[in-house]
Structures are given as structure tokens and as C-alpha cells.
Amino acid sequence: MTIPSGSTQVFRLNTDETQDEALRIAAAAIRRGELVAFPTETVYGLGADALNAAAVERIFSAKGRPADNPLIVHIADIEQVSPLVCSIPAIFYPLAAAFWPGPLTLIMPKSAAVPDVTTGGLDTVAIRLPSHPVAQALIRVAQTPIAAPSANRSGRPSPTLAQHVLADLQGRVAVVLDGGAAGVGVESTVLDLTTSVPTILRPGGVTWEDLAAVIGDVQLDTRVSDINTAADLPVRSPGMKYRHYAPLAPAVLIEGEAPFVWEKMLQSLQVDQPQHPGLLITEEGYDWFTRQPLPERCEFVLMGKRYRPDTIAAGLYAALRRLDELQVDRIYMEGIAPQGMGLAVMNRMRRAAGGLIVQAEG
């Protein structure tokens, strides 16, 4: 089924016949140098032919993305790596065997085949083989690697549903492939293979613990571990320096163990006395709050289970968009333990809070 939507064609991928037709139209758009938004297992991507500089430039203007922020090149087959790089480090092979297809992006020295616009002028290229069948099929039918950032306007939360893509990019993208909810909910892990010890530039769908189990030594870029003091360090992943995932209302992140984290949230509410607060909270936190005396007009947006960070990752970006829709005037976010998928979740929440972080002492 096609739903015309401004100059954007939207396809709901329900049945096999519509899927084939939609993929053919979307792949033709990619080949013509146009933009196609498509589902991946992490978030929706805004794709263009990675080897066509003019097409890639359209991604930057559609998103309002700074030109020095490089894109991830998506492939459907491991054979597509070698034309994109000038050398493959030995550590690539065990990583690809363990985590591809999947939410892991690997950075390697780029070949001349990759236009400079795609890599934001860097001499390295970020490559990922997504596991989502629609992403894989689109790349195969288009017969070219597809450069794709998350399909949001720059500075907005990444889209995990086609409706998020349309809210941000209606009329700016030729085709949207609606494949339902993206599963993981946060972006891929970006791992730099050009450093002597592989370096996580962005935590994501593959955890640090998973990587360490396969390759042993893995380090976390300083910018990831501490967003407050890292502002003056040279930037290795240009995306990390831009304001990101910023809700409309000022937000504070409260970190600490339960129940202290909830007590601190309640105490902050009582001190600040906002007119219309929004609480981004776990199910356990919500249970706790329902037993407390609460200010009027307090909105709760639930984000998953406190000790299941994968459930929080899946709902986090939709929850941030929901807080904007509710037009709250101040946001209080419940922090969780930065372990496993919790590291990626906390990285996104710290950035959403713009560094405004409070520690609950227990």
C-alpha cells in the first residue's frame, strides 16, 4: 500500500507482494541519487548511494547536519567491505564473525572509492552490516552500499518508528519504508579499529562486555565516559561534539541507586516547583511514585524496566519525543546503572540532559 505524503512516498511493508514492489521503487530512488528512509534493527536510517557524492550531500541538507559529521556506510554482504577500505586490520575478522549482521559499526582506513563527503573529510570510513531484512534487501536491490545516518532532523532523538521519520523529514525524503518498530532502539556501537586497542567511540546495541568477550582489550573513548570534562579533548567521532537528543524543555538527569534516585527526583520536584513537570521513569520508579504525595500536572513517561536496560533502550527515543508532545516545562530523568546496554542508555540520557546531572547519595 502506498500513502502519498507531500512529496514523500510511504510504503507499509505488510505483505510479500507490497514488499517487493516497495523495494524496487526505493532501490530505483537510491540509484537515481534520491533519499530513502528505511528500518534497521537499531533505528531508522536516512539512506543514499554511499558512492555518489551529490546524493550523499542531500542527506546533509535534509537533516540539517554539519558537513564534518561522517556517515555510516551500510552493506549487505561482507564482500562489500574490501572495495571501501585500503586495509583490513586482523581484528576485523573475529568482530565481523561474532557481531555481523548486527548493531556494530567498524571504523577502518578508507579507500578512494568512498567520496570525502560520506566520511566528512576523514581518511577513515565507518561500515556496518545491519541485520534488519528490509535494510539488507534495499542494499541488495540497489546494488550499492548505502550511507545512512539516523533519519531524524539534526538534534532530535533518533526515529524508532516510521511516524518519527515523517514528523521530522516529511517532504525531504523521496521514499519511507515503514517496517514497524526498530527493535534495539539505540544506535549501533561505533568501534574504531585504527587505534592500537580498539576504541568505542559510541556505545550502542553491542555492549562493551560482548566486545571484550570476543577480542579481549577494548577501550572507551574519554568523551563517552565523561561528557562534562571531555569538551576540550580533540574529537575522534565528530558526532559526539554536537548537541543531541535534546528535549525541548530543560532536563536534569538523576543518577544513583534505587530508591535514593527516586527520593532525589521527588525532592528536586519539590524544590524546583515546576508548573508542568515530566518524569522519564522506569516501571519500578513509577510504582514508587504512585505511593508519594505528588504535585498537580505531573506527567509520567515510562521507559521500561530498571534492571532490563534493553527494554529501556527500546523505548527511550519514543519517550523523549513523547515528553516534547506533552509540552512539559521541566524534565526529570531517572538514571540507571551504566552496564551492558545501560552504558548506551546513560550516554544518550547524559547528552539529553546537556550535562545537567545530579547524584543521589544513598
Of 159 and 340, CB closest to ligand TXA = 159
Of 153 and 305, CB closest to Mg ion = 153
| Rounded Cα distance, 56 and 156, in Å | 20
| Rounded Cα distance, 67 and 59, in Å | 10
Collapsed DSSP state (helix, strand, coil) of residue 191? strand
Q: Which of 9, 124, 150, 199 binds Mg ion (CB under 5 A)?
A: 150
Residue 254 identity (one-letter amino acid): I
Q: Which long-range contacts (CB under 8 A, 24 or more apart) does 347-350 make?
A: 347/202, 347/203, 347/224, 347/227, 348/186, 348/244, 348/245, 348/316, 348/317, 349/253, 349/280, 349/316, 350/227, 350/253
Of 46 and 281, CB closest to Mg ion = 46
Q: Which of 172, 202, 321, 350 binds ligand TXA (CB under 6 A)?
A: 202
Residue 276 identity (one-letter amino acid): H
Binding window for Mg ion (CB under 5 A); candidates: 146-154, 172-180, 208-216, 313-321: 146-154
Q: Say how many C-beta atoms besides its own lie within 10 A of residue 33's C-beta.
A: 16
Asked whether position 23 contacts ligand TXA by CB under 6 A, the answer is no
Binding window for ligand TXA (CB under 6 A); candidates: 13-21, 235-243, 280-288, 315-323: 235-243
Asked whether position 127 contacts ligand TXA by CB under 6 A, the answer is no
Q: Which of 13, 72, 104, 341 binds ligand TXA (CB under 6 A)?
A: 72
Asked whether position 237 contacts Mg ion by CB under 5 A, the answer is no
> Shortest approach of Mg ion to residue 149 CB, angstroms?
5
- Give which of ligand TXA, Mg ion, none residue 72 binds (C-beta under 5 to 8 Å, depending on kind): ligand TXA
Handedness of CA 109, 114, 120, 126 (dihedral sign): negative
**How many residues sit close enough to Mg ion to count as binding (CB under 5 A)?**
1
Binding characters for ligand TXA, 35-64, by CB under 6 A (x = yes):
-----x-xx-x-------------------
Residue 50 identity (one-letter amino acid): A
Of 8 and 40, CB closest to ligand TXA = 40
Asked whether position 40 contacts Mg ion by CB under 5 A, the answer is no
> Shortest approach of Mg ion to residue 158 CB, angstroms?
5
Q: What angle do CA 344, 319, 336 make, to 5 degrees?
A: 40
Of 43 and 81, CB closest to Mg ion = 43
Q: For residues 175 and 163, is the Cβ–Cβ distance under 8 A?
A: no
Of 144 and 150, CB closest to Mg ion = 150
Task: Specify which residues 332 forms β-bridges with.
Answer: 252, 279
Of 46 and 279, CB closest to Mg ion = 46
Binding characters for ligand TXA, 160-189, by CB under 6 A (x = yes):
---------------------------xx-
Question: Which letter does DSSP use for residue 281 in this model?
Answer: E
Q: For residues 114 and 48, is the Cβ–Cβ distance under 8 A?
A: no
| Helices of type H across the chain | 16-31, 53-63, 92-99, 133-142, 162-169, 208-215, 222-225, 260-272, 283-289, 309-325, 341-352
Of 119 and 150, CB closest to Mg ion = 150
Asked whether position 347 contacts ligand TXA by CB under 6 A, the answer is no
Q: Say how many C-beta atoms besides its own lie within 10 A of residue 274's C-beta.
A: 18
Q: Which of 175, 190, 254, 314 binds ligand TXA (CB under 6 A)?
A: 190
Which chain residues interact with ligand TXA by CB under 6 A?
Answer: 40, 42-43, 45, 69-72, 103, 105, 107, 119, 122, 124-126, 128, 130, 148-150, 187-188, 190, 201-202, 236-240
